[in-house]
Structure 1
Amino acid sequence: MSDIIQLLPDHVANQIAAGEVVQRPASVVKELIENAIDAGATSIKLLLKDAGKTLIQVIDDGKGMSPTDARLCFERHATSKIKDAKDLFNLHTKGFRGEALASIAAIAHVELKTKQEDQELGTLIKIEGSEVSSQESVSAAKGTSIAVKNLFYNIPARRNFLKSDTIETRHIVDEFQRVALAHPDITFLLHHNNNEVYHLRKSNLRKRIVAVFGTRMNEKLVPIEEQTDLVSIRGFVAKPEFAKKKRGEQFFFVNNRFIKSSYLNHAVVNAFEGLLDAGSHPSYFLFLEVPTTSIDINIHPTKTEIKFDNEKALYAILRATVKHGLGQYTIAPLDFDRNSTFDTPYDYSKKDQPSVPPITVDPNFNPFKTEPSSFTPETTSEPPKSTPAVPKTGSSSPTPSTPKSFTSNYKKDPGQWEALYTDMSSSEPTSSAPLFESTYQEPLFDDSRETETGKTFQIQKKYLLSTIKSGVVLIHQSLAHQRVLYEEFLENITVKEASSQQLLFPVSISFPSSDIEIIYSIKADLESAGFMFEEFTKESVVIRGIPTSITESQITFILEQLLDDIQMEVPDASFSHFDVMAKSFAKSLAIKTGTSLSSKEQENLVNNLFSCKEPTTSPLGKPIFKTLTLQEIDGIFNK
């Protein structure tokens, strides 16, 4: 039998390696920017066309490369960052694998121009599919400029798997933000299709965060800092009142390298215990410095996961540090149900208690006597224990609470005491206590609830149980409402002309520059849904009209949910962005688990659900209800 194992050609091996290194244009951006940082650059410029599919160019002012290094850097396993295996556990650089440029050159057209400071001329190298097409000496500025064109040109199947330009741009911006936050001492510029998205000047960490996420972020930040033998922690967390419903602005950096860690995230969330409303997520920008020998960053191809030697101690230190930082800046646990209007005003907190007003009473008064009693009013500062604190009816000396008709009729003819009662109906009511108490007392609570048993029941404020001829149907109320709203929104956007309501005062909402660009790219679709925009700036969107189905207080949450869904790649092939918008609106506005529904609301929801075209599944494909027949129910008890 002949041999079947053979060595792969270099270009095939490079394409296989590219599958691990280059997943999408954002992967190329990450590798090239990290190389520029390792080269000691103080200014880095990123140029994009068509979300990186046509062009990704990174220009830096680093130390550059010699002609030999420029040619050698495109070979597999070629790197200047490590020399032996021990260096993997003592890393101070970012790009160290030696496969990035070789993998990129295998699936794109690459043009490299580089020059060292002590050289008169630079080097220009052009590569197509791992093959060097030309190398020559050219005039160039100090540093390196590398342009990656026509990504995946020789792997069309891989190119077809790329998402829309909006989604791919979002991934690139995410990588750009992570690197920019880790290095506030470097100037970064980002241009997409000749439009400037970011221009981040050299600054400190706080100013860099504000420059990336908008000026409103400045008021949200609480500084965090702690120094221990195991770890040094610095950075910022956002105040609890600015927590969001999505996990957006959450950044961990270990030795200036962005990582993802659900374990450390749990420590931060635990530090906010008692400060956050249900379903909210805190924002944070935390930098951890640990000894390089205590971590292993080579356990994941993208190097975004790290293994720590002492995770439990790190968890406890991080939790205590964040908790201490929140307490140090007088951010105490909040009572979300407390009404501040019941608080005693500060000006009155130290004043003396008010004195009891004097009360005038006639203890010998009898309304059935034919002659008025001679009574000299007594003034007392305290009411007798047996006497109520309200004026008695029929006092010979009328008090401010005594009706005028009461006094005048009594003075005309004291013997006609019936007039005391007959004229009371024409007297005007006063703000004091009533003179006569009625035997009827209104109930304290409205007891007008339905007493009849309907066909629908709510279970744990989460599910609806409805009876049908063949048995019962169990419905998830939130998913059912999502389906109803989704079909209504989709019909209003695509079939009907969406109605819009004009706002009395335009609303300005702040977003990061990258989110502003996404909103602007789907502006026409949002206007079709009923939104009306007045102005777009680099940091905010001014809205002057909204769909009639939403309220002004829901605008921010709905747009954030829409941006999150676009970023999470909700399928959008059917109706362009209309489908994504309808799903986001439905998910944002649907009733949540824990909402109590009346019998009529339950029946309306059930009827509306089964009037939908697709009542079985939610907009995101989850089952909405489960039917149990009488036979299935009998089978439970007849086992």
Structure 2
Amino acid sequence: MSDIIQLLPEYLANQIAAGEVVQRPASVVKELLENAVDAGATQIKLIVKEAGKQLVQVVDNGSGMSATDARMSLERHATSKIRTTEDLFKIRTLGFRGEALASIAAVAQVEIKTKLRQQDTGTQILVEGSQVVKQQPTAAPDGTSISVKNLFYNVPARRNFLKSNAVEMRHILDEFQHVALSKSSISFSLYQNDLEVFNLPAGKLSQRVVQLLGNSYKEQLALVEEVTPFISVKGYIGKPASAKKSRGDQFFFVNGRFIRSAYLNHAVLAAYEGLLPKETHPFYVLFLELDPKAIDINVHPTKTEIKFEDEKTVYAIMRAAVKQALGLHNMAPSLDFESDVNFAPLAGMRTASRSDFDDQADARPINLDLDRGREGGALAAAMAAAATPARPPRSGSAARPADEKPLTPRPTEQARQALEDFYRSLSQPGALDDLEAEAPEAQPEAVPLVPVLPAAPAPETAVPLLPTAPNVAAAAPAPELPLTHSSAPLSAGSSPGEAAVPGRRAVQVQQYVLVPVKSGLMLIDHVAARERILYEQYQRTLAQENSSSQTLLFPRTVSFTPTDFVVLREVTAELQALGFRFQEFGPNTIVVEGLPADVPHRSNEKELLEGLLEQFRMPVGRARLDRREQLARALARRVAAGGAARLSELEMTALVDRLFACQTPGYTPDGQRTLVMLEAEQLQALFAR
């Protein structure tokens, strides 16, 4: 049998190696920026065209390379940073494997211009598919400029797997952010299609955070600093109020290298325990410095995952450092040993303040029925009208000067006349008898506080919660609401009209709507129910691309960070399909002209759009839903949460109707229950002796 094992050709071996290092244009950006940092540059410029597919160029003013070094940098495993095995355990630079330029040159057209400071001329090298096409002396500034053109030009299959320009640009911005945050002492700039996206002067880390992530972080940063003989932790964390639904703005750096670590993230969250709203994530940018011998960074081709020699100690110090920072900035609960607990208000109670009484003048007067009679109610109404303050309502944010005396309510002329007429009528003979006789006619017709449940829909229109068994006849009556335990959802085939008890009405308690049914009591979380209704409505809107919008009386300009603006461009078509109407208006700015019809009128357009864009900034590699699905879920959740806290009769009736018209009325898109059932037996058991 002949030998069958052979060495791969050089160009093929390079392409295989490139598959590990160069996955997309962002991979090229990462490698070139890290090489520029290692070269000691103080100014680094990144230029991209067509989201890096056409061009990725990095220009730095670093140390530069000689002609020989420039040629050797294109060879595999060529590096200036490792000489012996011991060097592997004291690495403090970013690029050290010597695979970056060789891998990039295997799948792109590369041009290198470099010059040493002490030399008069530089070197130019042109490479295509690992083959050096030209090498010659050239005039060049100090430092190095590397241009990567037509990425994957010789591997069409790889190029076809690249995403849209908006998606690829978002990944490039992520890599740019990581390097720019790790080196705030270096000036960075980014140009996309000849337009400046970032211009970051050298400065403090806090300034770099605000420049990259937006002015919203200016007042939300808390300093973290903990130095021990084993490890030091420095950086910033966000206040609990700035926590977001996504984990986009979370950064760990170990010895200056960006990493991802679920273990360290858990340590930070443990320090925030009890301070964060449910299902939110804090901001942090934290730098860990420790002996390189205590970590292994050579466990992943992209070097974003590392191993710690003593993970437990790192976890404990990280948690303690964050917790201390929260305490120093008065963001963590503390004990006051000087207060007298015997005179402290009970839990859930508060003492009245002067502002409480001042606000009563602005509040709507309460109609107290003094004697439960006609004349008592009329007198209270007249007194309430007379007590109307003759001054404009006090603004909620305006504070009353300390020396200002409370204003005494003055009756208006109309109220004074009403009082005189009322007392004059009482002085006439038989006035009280006349009032009592007229009372039944004068009383307005009572309006029920809760609605009557809707009539049962036709059997063929009822939408079951769960698939009905195939052997059940279509004309068979729907079963009642059987339950297995107190929090069981509605059973298959049930509908509100069939289960409702005629003549009984729903009532709202906090955010829950209580609906009597034949078998007991149905409890509906109206916020979760509204989320399910809106979600299915938005799904239909996206499928039919027939949305309705409410036009703003005055268009509003909204500015975003460059990263968010790129994401906005990526999902523009879906947002417009939902009913958003906006146009670009300068760099990273849009003009909002309309919002979806269901969005509350007083919504903050910037907060709403930023909330929708948050989920698209998740770390790369995490499984995500379809883009339209994500938008429908996010918008439904935010609009539902911003709805009215109290529902009117018609609103409760419509809510029940629309909920049971949904395909899956029992759950929100995220799996939270919208309703539960309590059987009569379970209610009786609550009062059993």
Q: Where on the TM-score scale, by shorter chain, does this alignment land: which range? A: 0.7 to 0.9
Shift in Å at residue 425 of structure 1? 4.4
The residue correspondences of 1:223-622 to structure 2 (distance < 5 A) are: 223-333=223-333, 344-345=353-354, 404=423, 422=433, 425=436, 455=480, 463-467=489-493, 485=534, 488-489=537-538, 491-492=540-541, 495=544, 497-503=546-552, 509=558, 511-520=560-569, 523=572, 526-533=575-582, 536=585, 538=587, 541-551=590-600, 552-553=602-603, 555=605, 556-557=607-608, 559-562=610-613, 564-565=615-616, 581-582=631-632, 585=635, 601=655, 604-609=658-663
Shift in Å at residue 343 of structure 1? 5.7
Q: Which residue of 2 aligns with 1:175?
A: 175
Q: In angstroms, what is the RMSD of aligned CA positions?
A: 4.5
Q: Which residue of 2 aligns with 1:379?
A: none
Q: Which residue of 2 aligns with 1:2?
A: 2
SS at structure 2 position matched to 1:264: helix
Q: Which stretch of structure 1 is more off in the superposition, 24-33 or 451-460? A: 451-460
1: CA distance between counterparts of 2:307 and 2:625? 39
The residue correspondences of 1:140-159 to structure 2 (distance < 5 A) are: 140-159=140-159
Q: 1:616 to 1:451 in 2, by over 3 A?
A: closer
Q: Which residue of 1 aligns with 2:218?
A: 218
- The code of the aligned residue for 1:553 comes to S
Kept in 1: contact 2:178–2:258 (CA 8 A): yes
Shift in Å at residue 296 of structure 1? 0.9
Shift in Å at residue 214 of structure 1? 1.6
Shift in Å at residue 565 of structure 1? 3.5
**Structure 2: runs of 5 or more not aligned:** 335-346, 358-418, 440-445, 457-478, 496-524, 674-689
Listed one character per residue, the Cα deviations across residues 537-589 of structure 1 (whole Å, up to 9, x for unaligned) are 55655534211122353753454334533766999999xx7677556545655
Say whether 1:71 aligns with 2:71.
yes
1: CA distance between counterparts of 2:488 and 2:622? 25
Kept in 1: contact 2:248–2:617 (CA 8 A): no
SS at structure 2 position matched to 1:232: strand
- The code of the aligned residue for 1:514 comes to T
Listed one character per residue, the Cα deviations across residues 361-405 of structure 1 (whole Å, up to 9, x for unaligned) are xxxxxxxxxxxxxxxxxxxxxxxxxxxxxxxxxxxxxxx9xx958
Shift in Å at residue 118 of structure 1? 0.9
Q: 1:408 to 1:619 in 2, by over 3 A?
A: closer
Shift in Å at residue 500 of structure 1? 1.8
Query: For this pair of structures, how many residues does the alignment match?
Result: 533
- The code of the aligned residue for 1:547 comes to P
Shift in Å at residue 508 of structure 1? 5.6
2: CA distance between counterparts of 1:26 and 1:79? 22
SS at structure 1 position matched to 2:157: helix
Q: Which residue of 1 aligns with 2:361?
A: none
**Structure 1: runs of 5 or more not aligned:** 349-399, 413-418, 429-441, 470-476, 625-639
Kept in 1: contact 2:246–2:617 (CA 8 A): no
1: CA distance between counterparts of 2:659 and 2:480? 13
Kept in 1: contact 2:169–2:566 (CA 8 A): no
Kept in 1: contact 2:166–2:569 (CA 8 A): no
Shift in Å at residue 489 of structure 1? 3.2
Q: 1:492 to 1:314 in 2, by over 3 A?
A: same
Q: Which stretch of structure 1 is more off in the superposition, 595-604 or 543-552? A: 595-604
1: CA distance between counterparts of 2:226 and 2:108? 46
Kept in 2: contact 1:109–1:127 (CA 8 A): yes
SS at structure 1 position matched to 2:124: strand
SS at structure 2 position matched to 1:608: coil
Kept in 2: contact 1:43–1:187 (CA 8 A): yes
SS at structure 2 position matched to 1:319: helix
Q: 1:542 to 1:322 in 2, by over 3 A?
A: farther
Kept in 1: contact 2:451–2:653 (CA 8 A): no
- The code of the aligned residue for 1:109 comes to Q
SS at structure 2 position matched to 1:134: strand
Kept in 2: contact 1:562–1:580 (CA 8 A): no
Shift in Å at residue 231 of structure 1? 1.5
- The code of the aligned residue for 1:18 comes to A
Kept in 2: contact 1:40–1:63 (CA 8 A): yes
Q: 1:506 to 1:317 in 2, by over 3 A?
A: farther
1: CA distance between counterparts of 2:245 and 2:145? 41
Q: Which residue of 2 aligns with 1:131?
A: 131
Shift in Å at residue 421 of structure 1? 6.4
Listed one character per residue, the Cα deviations across residues 421-451 of structure 1 (whole Å, up to 9, x for unaligned) are 64774999xxxxxxxxxxxxx9xx9788979
SS at structure 1 position matched to 2:135: strand
Q: 1:460 to 1:213 in 2, by over 3 A?
A: farther
Kept in 1: contact 2:533–2:658 (CA 8 A): no
Q: Which residue of 2 aligns with 1:118?
A: 118
- TM-score of the superposed pair, with normalisation by structure 1: 0.72
Q: Which residue of 2 aligns with 1:439?
A: none
Kept in 2: contact 1:571–1:580 (CA 8 A): no
Listed one character per residue, the Cα deviations across residues 42-73 of structure 1 (whole Å, up to 9, x for unaligned) are 11111111111111110000010000000000
Q: Which has the larger radius of gyration?
A: 1
Kept in 2: contact 1:456–1:602 (CA 8 A): no
Kept in 1: contact 2:452–2:653 (CA 8 A): no
Q: Which residue of 2 aligns with 1:629?
A: none
Shift in Å at residue 321 of structure 1? 1.5
1: CA distance between counterparts of 2:281 and 2:662? 33
1: CA distance between counterparts of 2:528 and 2:274? 29
Listed one character per residue, the Cα deviations across residues 520-542 of structure 1 (whole Å, up to 9, x for unaligned) are 46556644542233764556555
Kept in 2: contact 1:111–1:125 (CA 8 A): yes
- The code of the aligned residue for 1:88 comes to L
Listed one character per residue, the Cα deviations across residues 595-637 of structure 1 (whole Å, up to 9, x for unaligned) are 9998975664343318xxxx999999x9x9xxxxxxxxxxxxx
User: Percent of aligned positions with the same letter in both sequences?
Assistant: 46
Q: Which stretch of structure 1 is more off in the superposition, 316-325 or 92-101? A: 316-325
- The code of the aligned residue for 2:214 comes to G
Shift in Å at residue 496 of structure 1? 5.7
Kept in 1: contact 2:612–2:631 (CA 8 A): no
Q: Which stretch of structure 1 is more off in the superposition, 529-538 or 458-467? A: 458-467
Q: Which residue of 2 aligns with 1:431?
A: none
